Amino acid sequence: MLSDTSLREIQHELSKYPADRRQSALMAALRIAQDEHGWLSEPLIEYVAGVIRVPPVRAYEVASFYSMYELKPVGRNKICVCTNISCMLRGSDEVVEHLNKRLGIGLGETTADGKVTLKEVECLAACAGAPMMQVNRDYFENLTPQSIDEILDSLS
């Protein structure tokens, strides 16, 4: 269910912890699995739990708690807009509204061409640069309608 490369990466993560603390590598293992498949299906979560040797429910708990894990398919690009307090006070409502208009989708939706999934997330710890959003692995801060347009135009 996972490539040799992904399994090697997980083993590398496991090597960072004592043998009786394998669960510590669970978050990294789920990230590695998601990087390969794009999202975490139930069988994939159970498979990762097996690799780490924890009960499947432990892996479900982690995968369903953190917004960085996807439990259903997403677009090729993922935009996570922070709407928590600092970003809200600095205009995240306008950011969301602009993204809704430009992309033609609401929060939690994916464009018809599968290019972009738009998500609302809690604080991403970049409050000093509010309003901000994460696009795939990159943070973009002090957003304006113009900078959002430039970011969207750069997506493949």
Residues that bind ligand FES (CB under 6 A): 82, 84-87, 123-127, 130, 132
> Beta partners for 77?
116
Cβ at position 83, least distance to ligand FES in Å: 8
Q: Kindly list the distances between the CA atom of residue 26 and the CA atoms of 56, 58, 59, 96, 117, in Å, as whole numbers in the listed order.
A: 11, 9, 7, 32, 25
Q: Which is nearer to ligand FES, 23 or 86 (CB)?
A: 86
Cβ at position 3, least distance to ligand FES in Å: 33
Q: Which is nearer to ligand FES, 10 or 132 (CB)?
A: 132
Q: Which is nearer to ligand FES, 129 or 145 (CB)?
A: 129
Entry field: residues in the chain: 156
Q: Kindly list the distances between the CA atom of residue 81 and the CA atoms of 15, 71, 94, in Å, as whole numbers in the listed order.
A: 34, 18, 11
Cβ at position 54, least distance to ligand FES in Å: 31
